[in-house]
Amino acid sequence: MQQDGLEENCGMQIESGVSLKPYNTFGLPAVARTLVRVTSDADVRQVVDHPELGRAPKFVLGGGSNIILTRDMPQLVLKVEVRGMRLVQERTNAWIVEAGAGENWHDFVAWTLAQGWPGLENLALIPGTVGAAPVQNIGAYGVELKDRFESLDAVDLVTGRSVTLHESICAFGYRDSVFKHSLAGRSVITRVRFRLPRPWQPVIGYLDLERKIAETGIAAPSAQQIFDWICAIRRAKLPDPALVGNAGSFFKNPVVTPEQCRDIIGRDPEIVHYPMPDGSVKLAAGWMIDACGWKGKSVGQAAVYEKQALVLVNRGGAIGSEVMTLARAIQESVYGRFGIRLEPEPVVV
């Protein structure tokens, strides 16, 4: 039965002509021809087994905080709304905690702390859902998801089979995982489990946190203190997507060899760079964009954030093509000056 763009089909609600503007933090306009909300593995299987929906190309949507929508979506959009948070196991050396993929990431981090299971505090205030966190191996302030990862459940979009995947299969890298490669568009992550080490060890070797320690004189901060600091630091640096549309860092920080870095330092001695444990060097993409004079510049209503050149923002009414024209112009000028090709961090749809 079809009613106001909403169809009931074997208990599954199929919505048609759905505006995705409220569902992406950049606030870009796009319409999904068909959208289905999935709240369990069984819901995903029902879609896979459906005579028409099963065959349709699909796009999996979480909180829409890492996507750039450049057009209407002919694909079936599966909006992941699997809920639930629980302690799975208490080991002598770790707490194993699980959350449904549709849970809000920051709320989950706050909940684990409130329960007395610290370990995710450095990842506070990252927008989006728990289910998307493994896709790009979210990271901030010295911690990445892979450092706290136990396993995840996913449903295969071709076979409808539920599988449990461990770290070796997920192939986590810097803002990268198997879900951006061979499993891209192939599976819906429905639950993620985290291993929170006991005893808890703070991760505070990051410049902004060292500054907080120096300012406050708190040399041994609690997990809650670190959580509060991270929230304050992020609020001061990044635009709140509820007020100014954005997708966080628009480009990945490029990783180069020490030789390449030396070559760039020869030409640009002030370039901000971080030596990595594996010997490679990470360059600050925001610094390079700023050095090319992009801060505050715009294409239509898409602009480079005045306070942080790594973030592109929606000044109101921006469309995806404006964002991508701006992004390409930035890539060209950074390449022209530094010989480095910047890679977008969000998924361009």
Ligand X SMILES: Cc1cc2nc3c(=O)[nH]c(=O)nc-3n(C[C@H](O)[C@H](O)[C@H](O)COP(=O)(O)OP(=O)(O)OC[C@H]3O[C@@H](n4cnc5c(N)ncnc54)[C@H](O)[C@@H]3O)c2cc1C
Reply yes or no on whether 37 is catalytic: no
* Binding-site string for ligand X from residue 21 to residue 60, where x marks contact by CB under 6 A and - marks none: ----x---------------------------------xx
Residue tagged active-site, from 175, 191, 193, 195: 175
**Alpha helical stretches, state H, 21-69:** 41-49
Please tell me whether residue 66 binds ligand X under the rule CB under 6 A: yes
Reply yes or no on whether 195 is catalytic: no
Question: What is 71-99 written as a DSSP string?
Answer: S-EEEEEEEE----EEEEEE-SSEEEEEE
Task: Please state, in angstroms and rounded to a whole number, the distance separating the CA atoms of residues 240 and 14.
Answer: 31
In this structure, the strands spanning 149-156 and 162-165 are antiparallel
Per CB under 6 A, contacts with ligand X among 95-134 are 101, 126-129, 131-133
Please tell me whether residue 245 binds ligand X under the rule CB under 6 A: no
Task: Please say which residue, 313 or 319, places its beta carbon nearer to ligand X.
Answer: 313
Shortest distance in whole angstroms from residue 182 CB to ligand X = 13
Spatial CA neighbour of 219 closest among 209, 227, 208, 228: 209
Q: How far is CA 200 from the centre of its chain?
A: 25
Task: Please say which residue, 69 or 281, places its beta carbon nearer to ligand X.
Answer: 69
CA angle (29, 34, 40) in 5-degree steps? 110
Task: Please say which residue, 183 or 261, places its beta carbon nearer to ligand X.
Answer: 183
Reply yes or no on whether 333 is catalytic: no
Please tell me whether residue 209 binds ligand X under the rule CB under 6 A: no
Please tell me whether residue 241 binds ligand X under the rule CB under 6 A: yes
Structure tokens at 331: 């890539």
Spatial CA neighbour of 222 closest among 194, 201, 191, 244: 201
The residues annotated with a catalytic role in the active site are 175, 249, 345
What residue ranges bind ligand X (CB under 6 A)? Answer: 25, 59-67, 80, 101, 126-129, 131-133, 135-136, 138-140, 179, 188-189, 238, 241, 246-248, 347
